[in-house]
Structure formats: C-alpha cells, structure tokens
Structure 1
Amino acid sequence: MSLIYLQGYPEHLLAQVRTLIDQQRLGEVLQQRYPDAHQVLSDKALYDYTLAFKNRFMRSAPPISKVIWDNKIKVMKHALGLHTAISRVQGGNLKAKAEIRVSTFFRHAPEPFLRMIVVHELAHLKEKEHSKAFYQLCCHMEPDYHQLEFDARLWMTDQALRGNAA
C-alpha cells in the first residue's frame, strides 16, 4: 500500500499507519481525535477566518486581497493551499496583492486541519521558502503545527482509501 501523502516520514511512523489501515481503524482514530468538521464554507467565511489569524499574529505583514476555496488545486499535484503575490503597474505605481487559495478538498475537513493550512499560507507572507524561520513562524501561530500537518496527511490518506479523490 502506497502512503503517498506521508512520504518522508520515518518508517516507524509509517508502520503504525499501515497497522491502523490493516485493522481498518485509521478513520476511527482520526474521528475520535477530530470529531467535528469546520463551518467555514464560503469564500467570505474563509477570508474572515484567515484575516482573524493574520490580525492576531501578523499585523505588519502585507494585506491579503483575496482568500478563496479553489477547486482547481489538486492536493497531489500542487499543495493543500497556495499563496500568490501579484505585482502590477497601475499608472506610475506598483500595486502588490497577496492571495491565498485553499483546496476545496478541505472544505469539509476538521477545523484544526484548515487552521494548519491557513497558518502555513500566512507564514509565506513573511517567509517565502520552507526554512527554519518559516516553520518557527508556523509554530508561533499554531503550536501543534507539525502534529496537525501529520494528522492532516493521515486524514488525506483515509479519504483516499474511502475513494474520496484529493
């Protein structure tokens, strides 16, 4: 069985995941740990949700012009979300816009997974690369960032086993 969402994790963790899958308990374990899906269903709600994190942790970061659910993001091909910085010349001025897009695959995910994705994309406003400083910023905004990222990948694995395309 291929654990495509868990590539790069240590073998001892992957063995535990394989055991849960073999016992058909992965979904049950995740459901117990994360029983509720979030209620952030519209683009406006997602923008407000993201802006609340930005205002709490990153007031000095550039403003965000757009935050939307994006059904074109394929989790395996791209990412869980995308951030873009768009610069345009308007008249004699350079206008910069920051956009965040989150895969619609996570529209019905547990709230902690959405929070992890939003934190990740917000961190890119200050740190473009996945560097030590980037992950320190993620952990500042969400202390359980690394556990949530791993568990989100477990959830994606479970969804794939259930036939829900990522």
Structure 2
Amino acid sequence: MPYRARMDPLRYLRGYPPHVLTQVQALIDAGKLGETLRKRYDHAGHAVRDDKALFAYVVAIKDRYMRKADPLNKVIYDNKLHVVSQALGTHTAISRVQGGRLKAAREIRIATVFRDAPEPFLEMIAVHELAHLKHREHDKGFYQLCAHMSRGYHQLEFDLRLYLTAQETESAGAR
C-alpha cells in the first residue's frame, strides 16, 4: 500500500464535516466500521459478475430512466481503474468518422471493486456514470438526476466511501 494511503485513512471522506469524520474514526479505532457495514449490506450481493451481465444491468437502468439518452456501446469492469488515483468509474464518448458522419461511441467503465461489492454500491456507481451522459459536471442537476434514478443515492455514496475506507483499514490491519 502506498505510504500516502497509510497517512490518510479518511481520504475517501474528504469534504465531510469534522463531527462525521470523528464518528468514522471512532468506528475504525473500535474495529467496528467493517462490521457495521456488513450488517447493513451483507444480504446485498449480486450476480453481475462479467462484462455481459454488467452491460445488461446498466442498460436496464438507462432504459428505465434515460430512454432518450444516446445508446451505450460498451459497459465493462475495468481492473485498471484505481479507486483513488483515478475514479470508481468513467464515462467516455469516443468520436469516430463513419462515412461522412461523426459518430460517438459511449462507453462506461466501472472499477472491478464493484464486482464483489454489495449490489446497492454497483447500482450507485452505474447511476452516477449514467448521469454523466446528460450532465458532465457534478452540479445540482447531476445530483438531482442521480437521486431520481436511485432512491437514497446520497446515503449510498457516503456508505460506499465508508466501505472503501473499511476495506483499506482492514487490509492494512491484516498486514
């Protein structure tokens, strides 16, 4: 694990108020953060194990909430995405000339950590990346769309940050 990661165990929670960080640190110190999340999400596994199933899963969400958005050409798990240095997921529009027209191939890549994460976290990241089809920036409209597509989106985003923190602190403690 990089030295920087050991220096800031709450790096996924930057920007949250100090009282929240204090509560999270207390759970970490007591060794209960992972246990607390497992109780909440243990039952929430999923069968979206490969790229084909992931594509179907994300397209189903898109078709339910964003029928008029451009179609997706590819949705895959990407083991090259690193949670902190890059992102949990990415969305791209690759432009290609096809005949005399310019075509955009829309792709979503989701970090492989979500293959084993509870299903609500996979849904949250899928919704997040789909919202970028309509809103490039993380603005008010972006988060309103996320909340429309996923009930409890903001809580899931926070819990995902806790989940990543717990995974990291538990793996550091196992060394």
Q: TM-score, normalised by structure 1?
A: 0.96
Q: Deviations over 1:84-105 (max 9, x none)?
A: 0111112211111110000001
How far did 1:150 drift? Answer: 0.4
- Correspondence list, 1:94-133, <5 A: 94-133=102-141
Which whole-Å CA distance do the structure 2 matches of 1:79 and 1:115 have between them? Answer: 16
Distance (whole Å) between structure 1 residues aligned to residue 151 and residue 80 of structure 2: 30
**Which amino acid letter does the alignment assign opposite residue 168 of structure 2?**
A
The CA deviation string for residues 66-122 of structure 1, in whole angstroms up to 9 with x for no partner, is 000000000001111000011111221111111000000121000000000000000
Equivalent residue number for residue 21 of structure 2: 14
Number of equivalenced pairs? 164
SS in structure 1 of the partner of residue 23 of structure 2? helix
Instruction: State the secondary structure of the residue aligned to 2:108.
Output: strand
Secondary structure of 2:93's counterpart equals strand
Letter in 2 for 1:111: E
Among candidates 75, 85, 93, match of residue 67 of structure 1:
75
Provide structure 1 residue ranges, at least 5 long, that are not aligned to the other structure: none
Once the two structures are TM-superposed, the CA of residue 143 in structure 1 deviates from its matched residue by 2.2
Deviation at 1:37, TM superposition (A): 2.3
Q: CA deviation at 1:27?
A: 0.7
Q: Tell me the distance in 2 between the aligned counterparts of 1:38 and 1:81.
A: 18
Match of 1:26 among 33, 42, 50: 33
| In 1, Cα distance between equivalents of 2:121 and 2:98 | 38
**What's the CA shift for 1:163?**
1.8
Task: Give the gaps of 5 or more residues in structure 2.
Answer: 1-7
* AA in 1 matched with 2:14: Q
Match of 1:137 in 2: 145
**What root-mean-square deviation, in Å, do the aligned CA atoms of Structure 1 and Structure 2 show?**
1.1
Q: TM-score normalized by structure 2?
A: 0.91
Q: Indicate the residue corresponding to 1:41 in structure 2.
A: 49
Large movers: runs of 4+ above 6 Å: none
